[in-house]
Amino acid sequence: MINLEVVVLGSGCATPIPERWHASFAVLFDGEPILFDAGEGAQIRLQQAKINAMRVNHIFITHLHGDHWFGLPGLIFTMDLQGRKKPLTIHGPSGLRTTLRRFLASSEHGVKFPLKFHEVPVPKTGRIPVVMLEEERFKVLAVPINHTIAGFSYAFVEKDGACIDKAKLSALGIKKKGPFLEDVRSGRTVTVEGIKVRPKDILIMRKGRKIAISGDTRPTRGLISLAKGARLLVHEATYTDDLQETAVSHKHSTISEAANVAKSAKVEELLLVHFSKRYAKLESVMLAAAKKTFRNTVIGEDLLRIKL
């Protein structure tokens, strides 16, 4: 099975604290890092997580509040200083290109590698996902957030595919692994150690895994639909339930609202992030409240890694 992992690079909200930096998450798919948001300090957290930033080819920005993208200019400058040649594509809502280009131009430091932008107008409402990126083995989908400015919630979706059944391989009498397995996975019949191996002999179909990332938002039907059946939902939980009115006016989510989204979407695990700095005892205050609704909940910490 292809390795799939989520690394929390920043679990804090608009005002960071030393142990919780601004929002940023890395999805590692077969060793390839894909970033979702790049808050201030994202490149430092990448180094601390031992993720090679030069391998990042796609960055998805949920919305244009500074705590979700102010780490981009520094990351881009470092890539340039290290001699990057290959393109970097930044995906997000309309206005992203102009905003970042102005920021970069103000430093009078030209970027020598190709910087590409994929801007998508944000629908006012909607549960039908927008396809932001489609590759051979995965795609990234998006639905509108309900926040003070336009933006997207995202889902990384691994495509369904065939994988090797080790028991069937062993039953054929083949003990060694090798490049021939990729040939079989691609639909070809091969002969190994004098044994003919057909795809139907050793392959089983496996449903792709999904990771949903809320961004800053009030709960929405679109997000529930996007996250349906996800292995992991990364959801903001800016406020405790006693600050419901504040959450509504600032268009964020409370702890119980995040848990209800996870329950409604029938996800396997909920990862809570984007906490107001007013909360020091997250385990006792927030985790206990969330688990009343959704038991399989964890508190996000900077540099936490979750393997799926």
Please give the full DSSP string across 198-213, using - where no structure is assigned.
-HHHHEEEEPPPEEEE
CA-to-CA distance for 95 and 102, rounded, in angstroms? 11
Closest CA to 253 of 297, 229, 223: 223
Angle at 77 between CA 10 and CA 301, to 5 degrees: 10
Q: How far apart are the first and last CA of the chain?
A: 10
**How many other CB atoms sit within 10 Å of the CB of residue 1?**
10
**Which pLDDT tens digits describe the chain residue by residue (308 residues)?**
789 999 999 999 999 999 999 999 999 999 999 999 999 999 999 999 999 999 999 999 999 999 999 999 999 999 999 999 999 999 999 999 999 988 888 877 779 999 999 999 998 777 789 999 999 999 999 999 999 999 999 999 999 987 777 788 778 777 666 777 777 777 788 887 778 888 887 888 889 999 999 999 999 999 999 999 999 999 999 999 999 999 999 999 999 999 999 999 999 999 999 998 887 667 667 898 999 999 999 999 999 999 99
Residue 80 bears catalytic tag: no
Contacts for 108 with CB less than 8 Å, ≥ 6 apart: none
Instruction: Tell me which of 37, 67, 216, 302 is the catalytic residue.
Output: 67
Q: Structural domains in the chain?
A: 4-160+207-307 (3.60.15.10), 163-204 (no CATH)
Distance (Å) of CA 134 to CA 93, 141, 146, 275: 17, 9, 25, 32
